[in-house]
Amino acid sequence: MSELLNVTIGDLFDQTVEKFPDKDALVYVDRDLRLSYRQLQEKVNEVAKALMGLGIQKGEHIAIWATNYPEWIYTQFATGKMGAVLVTVNTNYRAFELEYLLKQSDVTTLIMIENYRNNNYIEMINTVLPELANSQPGQINSSNLPLLKNIIVISDRKYPGTYSWSEFLQFASRVSDADLAARQASLKPDEVINMQYTSGTTGFPKGVMLTHYSILNNAKFVGECQKFSSEDKLCFPVPLFHCFGCVMSTLTCIVYGATMVPIEYFDPVKVLEAVEKERCTALYGVPTMFIAELEVLNQRSFDLSSLRTGIMAGAPCPIEVMKQVVEKMNMREVTIAYGQTEFSPVITQTRTDDPIELRVTTVGRAIPHVEVKIVNPETGETLGPGQQGELCARGFGIMKGYYKMPEATQAAIDNEGWLHTGDLATMDENGYCKITGRLKDMIIRGGENIYPREIEEFLYTHPKILDVQVVGVPDIKYGEEVAAFIRLKEGEVLTEEEVREFCTGKIARHKIPRYIKFVDLYPCTASGKVQKFKLREMAIKEYGLEAAANIETA
């Protein structure tokens, strides 16, 4: 088992630059941007000095609200050198959620883009900070957000109360290389350097505090499970505000001296073009991304022969999709990873040499230096092989806690240091885990426990079905009933009756969906997780289940 790293992000970054100064570090295919490790270091040092020139201290919280811009990556490594805690902001946030995060996280500086899709970020920040229009840059004075002083817009355009990116970079001239080196030397691996807000598929998001040590080691072992080396080129369309982007992607490349090929925001054609043009060896994505890429491959051909490995994670990976990724995308060594932001994030991962059966039916075994156990959620007793219970994990990846939420932290991490994931799983004799559902996703119909994942996997085998999400909906007679939201393959037609016929005799009668709805899209978080609670709300409205829902909450 390889050793744990005991180093800060800034120091490890500099070590990699010394090993591979002229190697491609960062490539943006559609921006025509290509930086060697030495060139990337120059950009990163400039941003680190500019942050210090603005007066930002070690441990201070700065937020970034942007898609996968180059400046996001410069800022990530810059904070790793000068010690500010980088708070990542979900790109799908609206004014209400943004205000909550800025307030809860005690941010003093916000780095942001102008807009994303149809969302005008400038309008939103002015809604949250009406004082901005009459403020001087660096002197925002808000009664609502008293700590927020600086807003930096990644643009050459000038907006009232904010610094443009080039104006911000001018602050670097106030700080010497020696000052930056001294600050960098003062940082310690076990200090918090990153704060991410959980997706919030339910309730208010919580700020997860992660250290240099926890995320760098997670990045190392994620790469080790894929047999990463400096020869690899990783294409990642997953968002940087999520661990999948800023730990498993950027940091893994830095640990191994590999090349980063980010996609600014997910577009299946742009992903396939980047892989083909740059001869990428690895590709990341959530299942919905791979499904979209496979759909494109049915219409057009791309040369993906360079691909070898990658990760599918972030949501349960349908077996049929996994098989097609291996066959049609040449990703013979693709791995499945499972984890949570609270664990930096990966807990278990399959290995490149695992037989395909294990890679399509499990989420792998614990990564090095991590312990996993399955417990009875009611009694806490450790369960044996094949028995279903809650998956718990312990090791270097565990968060420092939720920011300013000691009770929530205590509820998530027990006295013996185990993180309780809230996910239901089984583990076999060799430590390979299968996620069978969320504790709260479980459907209880007339006293029978039903796991949505099981029905989803079965329905994926229907030749006309592209994607399926199963949720429990309230029912007066049985407590809950099964609802299936189905996306069909292009040009296919299917009826509710045909779906039920397909299920009859193949799965237990009580598992056959009572409600079947055909949809084009699912409500998702920006990181690609389907928001099942929204599907449930849709079903309650669609099928007139308000009375049953009221009984449930009474």
Q: Where in the chain is the domain with CATH 3.40.50.12780?
A: 9-197
Say if CB 255 and CB 284 are below 8 A apart: no
Q: What is the pLDDT of residue 247?
A: 98
Give residue 35's identity as a one-letter amino acid code. Answer: L
Q: What is the pLDDT of residue 154?
A: 98
pLDDT at 551 over 60: no
Q: What is the pLDDT of residue 315?
A: 73
Which of residues 210 and 119 earns the better pLDDT score?
A: 210
Residue 315 structure tokens: 């949501």
HEC secondary structure over 196-261: EECCCCCCCCCEEEEEHHHHHHHHHHHHHHCCCCCCCEEEECCCCCCHHHHCCCHHHHHHHCCEEE
Q: How confident is the model over 227-264, as pLDDT tens digits?
A: 999 999 999 999 999 999 999 999 999 999 999 999 99
pLDDT at 351 over 90: yes
When pLDDT is averaged across residues 351-373 and rounded to a whole number, the result is 93
**Local confidence band at 553 (pLDDT 50, 70, 90 cut-offs):** very low
Q: What is the pLDDT of residue 201?
A: 45
Q: Mean pLDDT score of the chain, rounded to an integer? A: 94
Superfamily for the 9-197 domain: ANL, N-terminal domain (3.40.50.12780)
Q: How confident is the model over 495-513, as pLDDT tens digits?
A: 999 999 999 988 888 899 9
Positive or negative, the Cα torsion across 82, 87, 91, 97? negative
Q: Percent of the chain having pLDDT more than 70? A: 98
When pLDDT is averaged across residues 38-62 and rounded to a whole number, the result is 98
Q: Which CATH number fits domain 445-553: 3.40.120.10, 3.30.300.30, 3.30.1510.10, 3.20.20.70?
A: 3.30.300.30
pLDDT at 554 over 60: no
Exposure string over 492-510, b if 16+ CB within 10 A, otherwise e: eebeeeebeebbeeebeee
Q: How confident is the model over 425-437, as pLDDT tens digits?
A: 999 999 999 988 7
**Local confidence band at 268 (pLDDT 50, 70, 90 cut-offs):** very high
Q: How confident is the model over 470-489, as pLDDT tens digits?
A: 999 999 888 899 999 999 99
pLDDT at 102 over 80: yes
The model carries a pTM of 0.89
For residue 423, give the 3-state DSSP assignment: strand
Q: What is the pLDDT of residue 183?
A: 98
**Local confidence band at 461 (pLDDT 50, 70, 90 cut-offs):** very high
From the centroid of its chain, how far is CA 9?
Answer: 19
Q: How far is CA 32 from CA 27, 123, 257, 381, 390, in A?
A: 8, 30, 21, 56, 47
Q: Which residues contact 441 (CB under 8 A, 6 or more apart)?
A: 451, 452, 471, 472, 532
**Local confidence band at 203 (pLDDT 50, 70, 90 cut-offs):** low
- The DSSP line for 315-363 is S---HHHHHHHHHHS--TEEEEEEE-GGGSSEEEE--TTS-HHHHHH--
Q: What is the pLDDT of residue 198?
A: 86
Q: How confident is the model over 381-394, as pLDDT tens digits?
A: 999 999 999 999 99
Q: What is the pLDDT of residue 506?
A: 87
Q: Where in the chain is the domain with CATH 3.30.300.30?
A: 445-553
Which of residues 495 and 199 earns the better pLDDT score?
A: 495
pLDDT at 286 over 70: yes
